[in-house]
Amino acid sequence: MPMDRPAATGETMRQHLIDPEICIRCNTCEESCPKGAVTHDARNYVVDPLRCEGCNDCLAPCPTGAIDNWRNVPRERPFTLDEQLAWDTLPARDGTADAGGAELPAEVAAIAAVATAGQGGAVPPPWSAAHPYVNLYSAQHPAIATVSGNFRLTDESASADVRHIVLDFGATAFPVLEGQTIGILPPGVDGDGKPHHVRLYSVASPREGERPRYNNLALTVKRVTEDHEGRTVLGVASNYLCDLAKGDRVKVVGPYGTSFLMPNHPGSSLLMVCTGTGSAPMRAMTERRRRRHALGEGGRLMLFFGARAPGELPYFGPLSKLPAEFIDINLAFSRDPDRPRHYVQDLIRARGADVVRMLDDADCHVYVCGLKAMEAGVDAAFTDACRQHGRDWNALVLLLRASGRYHVETY
Ligand code: NAP
């Protein structure tokens, strides 16, 4: 059994471990490790912390996922080979794991904590979500992607320059699921001469790729030209990404995220609420369902999407072509001179009966993504809709969270 260990007080490291409970002892990890870091005895396969350099070459060949396990440990005291060889189960995690149990680099954990603060802590993924890979590539060993497209999504006349950027990973394995994020490492250094921090972006394409069977994915990126107070500030990563040309190479880390994942079981429904580029994961999920619609596996899709005006709404053209029987789309425009000012929460109230019907459906999963400021308004709108139809949102949301049916990611 794993031993009790003192909490890390000094520098920590991510230690690569193999789960003895699900490992089938097939030897693929030992064969694929270029550093000879994986070894075994008659009982367990284990990773030598002194040899493993975190290249992750062993992850993809593993048929069970037993290889994809990590713990944050004191750098001066990783689990030894003798300790690992004696295990029947992996040791318990410390407090830096995400909802799905993945240990995250500290700066990614900090961003994820901000994004999910509104849901009151860790939320499990939908029970039928696919197993996500996380942390395959780090700042020390990033994946290199090549830009295969960079298209402006918003009208040329629109104030916001929002782009659909397609990254191709060539022969490098970079598996993602809808709802996951990836990290971009902008080149150059910050004002203190240090490498820029990682910036996270949601994947905007389905798991099989922006172009099916091509090893690529898409991002939705808005060029940041001012801060929250309206002062001129050029966002480092967003401007870098928006200016990329076809053929440029980009350093990518991740993927991250084990909670904001879509359900896969037949008949499962999605209730999606987003603003601006918070539409990225909704585009991924909707596109996944659209491509598989003919298989008849999808349940109901309902989308509430807020933008300033139609010309500023990413994916407006493709969205408006989707048939109403496939997806129930509700667009809220806040600055369109031809329409009354609306936010997504106004439309949730207006569609209260249908929203509550979806919340009542045990197969419906709710996703909220976009501006931090929208959280309170959306919560109030769900509260009102529930009250009008004899439900208690405060009680219901606890059940939804506990069962992995309510997911919030706001920045
Ligand atoms: P935006 O264009 O500034 O706003 C989109 C819409 O939301 C506008 O109609 C805006 O109205 C409205 N809005 C403002 N305050 C609101 C509130 N309190 N409640 C409801 N709606 C409100 O949005 P954006 O700049 O694209 O920002 C999207 C956010 O999504 C960013 O914070 C981004 O970090 C986050 N995000 C991005 C990604 C990605 O992959 N790129 C992924 C996840 C999340 P008015 O401005 O007219 O008031």
The minimum-distance atom of ligand 1 relative to the CA of 220 is 41
DSSP 279: G
The pLDDT of 384-405, averaged and rounded, is 96
The finding on whether 127 has its CB within 6 A of some atom of ligand 1 is no
DSSP output for 1-70: -PPP-PPP-S-EEEEEE--TTT-----HHHHH-TT--EEE-SS-EEE-TTT-----TTTTT-SSSTT-EE
* Rounded distance from Cα 94 to ligand 1 centre (Å): 34
CB 14 within 8 A of CB 54: yes
**Calpha distance 359→357 (Å, rounded):** 6
The pLDDT of 202-212, averaged and rounded, is 95
The pLDDT of 277-293, averaged and rounded, is 95
The finding on whether 125 has its CB within 6 A of some atom of ligand 1 is no
Q: Above pLDDT 70, what percent of the chain? A: 94
Q: Specify the pLDDT at position 25.
A: 92
Which residue CA neighbors atom 36 of ligand 1 most closely?
Answer: 278
Average pLDDT across the chain, whole number: 90
Q: Across the strands, what pairs with 332? A: 306
Q: Specify the pLDDT at position 1.
A: 43
Span 213-259, pLDDT tens digits: 899 999 999 999 988 888 999 999 999 999 999 999 999 999 999 99
HSE-up of residue 95 (Cα within 13 Å, Cβ side): 5
The minimum-distance atom of ligand 1 relative to the CA of 312 is 2
Span 58-94, pLDDT tens digits: 887 888 888 988 888 888 899 999 999 999 999 887 6
Span 16-54, pLDDT tens digits: 999 998 888 999 999 999 999 999 999 999 999 999 988
Confidence of residue 3 (pLDDT cuts 50, 70, 90): very low
Span 302-345, pLDDT tens digits: 999 999 999 999 988 888 899 999 999 999 999 999 889 999 99
Buried b (16+ CB within 10 A) or exposed e, 291-326: eebeeeebbbbbbbbbbbbbbbbbbbeebeebeeee
Q: Specify the pLDDT at position 98.
A: 60
Q: Which domains does the chain have, with CATH numbers?
A: 12-94 (3.30.70.20), 143-256 (2.40.30.10), 269-410 (3.40.50.80)
Span 102-132, pLDDT tens digits: 667 777 888 888 888 776 666 899 999 998 9
CA triplet 70, 265, 208: central angle to 5 degrees? 65
**Calpha distance 48→29 (Å, rounded):** 12
Dmax over CA atoms of the chain, in Å, equals 73
Q: Is 143 helix (H, G, I), strand (E, B) or coil?
A: strand
* Rounded distance from Cα 266 to ligand 1 centre (Å): 31
Q: Side chain identity at 366, as an amino acid letter?
A: V
